[in-house]
Structure 1
Amino acid sequence: MRTTHDEQELRMRVRQMRWEADRVVSLDLERIDGGDLPAWTPGAHVDLHLPGVITRQYSLTGAPADRRTWRIAVLHEESGRGGSRAVHTQVRAGDELTVVGPRNNFPLDPASDYLFVAGGIGITPLVPMLAAAEAAGASWRLVYGGRTRSAMAFASALAAAHPKRVDVVPQDERGLLDLPSLLGNLAPETQVYCCGPEPLLAAVEALCLADRLHVERFAARPRSETEPGAERAFEVVLQQSGDVVPVAPGQSVLEALEARGLDVPNSCREGICGTCETKVIDGIPDHRDSLLSDEERAANDTMMVCVGRALSDRLVLDL
């Protein structure tokens, strides 16, 4: 299962908002009651409940040691689903919001050497990882690509603080990241952490061994036409009640459960946040999420029901 800390639903206030780059604004959030926030570790994210009944996930990009402030940074995506637009056009300092978290699907594992690869707003979960690697005495470097220098949040501060470890690569000045050179001669102990747009993640995955690569997606991985899982009907058995729920072709398990009036925790509905992860008792899931590793998928012990279906005629779930 994903790594969680003291996940809570909190009423929080936006203490301040600040421009970090072109179309990127950061929000500093604090508890309305002034209390300490739940502990978190680098790679964690929170669910932000926004105006218009919108819930979106944003990486925590501040300092875990600061128990009074959670910082997120949001890119205004014109072609997005409305979450970033709500942050940029409706949310203001002093506003109160509901925040749920933290949850960590992208934890920083102990290592002696790290390569961090960021693309655009993918820098956000990596910022606290850099500080953690530095504090642990590990060797590390960051290669950070973006379209223009002015659009790359935190780039100037990171390069100034670590001039020998941080390589800022604006595309309009230096072209695309040279991933074959970057990944082609890694030391055996180097662990690679990458976050950014899908083309970057796909390219890194094609060049880097899975046992050393850790990625986080902000959108669902495109589904290949060659992946298994015909769109046929199957049944879901709820282990706790014994109820049997039919799932129609083209319908996710979550959609079928909701059609039955069942309330299952969920958030992203894209298989990227981990909120709906459910234990599998029996059957073979059709994993369509972007979270589980190849080993976890092969084990079939758990699934993300918001996008998942079945390869078997029946699934028995711990619900």
Structure 2
Amino acid sequence: MEYLAVALLNGAIYGLLLFMVSAGLTLVFGMMGVLNFAHASFYMMGAYIAYALAGVIGFPLAVIIAPIIVGGVGVIVERYFLRRVHRYGHAHELLLTFGLSFIIAEVIKLIFGNFPVDYRLPASLDFAAFRIGGTDYPVYRLLMGGVALGMFGLIYALLSTTRVGIVVRSAIYRPRMAEALGHNVPVLFMSVFGVGAMLAGLAGALAGAFYTTNPNMALELGVMVFVVVVIGGLGSLEGAMVASILIGVVTSLAVGVDASLADLLGFIGLGDWARAVGGVLTLQVSSLAATLPFALMLIVLLVRPSGLFGEKG
């Protein structure tokens, strides 16, 4: 029970971290139709900028200012790069953001080196919130989860109950009509892209102090973020939240399971045969934990290609 409780908590918090990164990508795709391959690079940028600022202005201010800087970079990228190639179609946008992700990674390596940096939690936040059996659960994990939930509530309320949200949603589905009504759709697109980058930067600034901040962190999380968006449904904020929690919990639970298909077949008397065959039948679930989100994505695409909450149209 102790393992189950800790694994569920860890999975939920990791899932909420995935949501913090994927929320911005979901907003950008939902409004602009752009699958931004550089989105996880904004996450990495947020971690490194917060690390650089923390030693000068302190951790709390660094976590606030770093996402704002990343959001500004996102605005520049949309205004002076993506907008110029948008009329040529998705292939040009994908190539541009793909190349941009490599440029950001190389610039970070030139400035900070090709190794992890010493970005740590301040002592004031490095303590246990409670104890589960013999395990102390860090309060900072709960803080990250709380920020992610607050982010979800704020974005959902903004999009569904405010005039700004109405304009954004109208620009998603009827951009020409929104422009005819006097709304500056290009500026709206630029703002949404900047907010998406800022959300990823906030996730990096928070998570970088708890996990490892290194030049490969965008690559490590970037693929998983796209899995989240595909499973949840392209453009669906609710889908991104559900898919993130699902992936986080499934992965966290699988890491501690040492059983295999051969053990399962043993209950019906086929265990010895399965072990003799070997191969995938004897692989432990823990060794397959990293591949389970991709298997889940394939299943969802086969059953519902638009994703769990995506629109079929």
TM value normalised by structure 2: 0.20
TM value normalised by structure 1: 0.19
Bigger share in helix: 2
- Structure of higher RCO (CA pairs closer than 8 Å, 6+ residues apart): 2
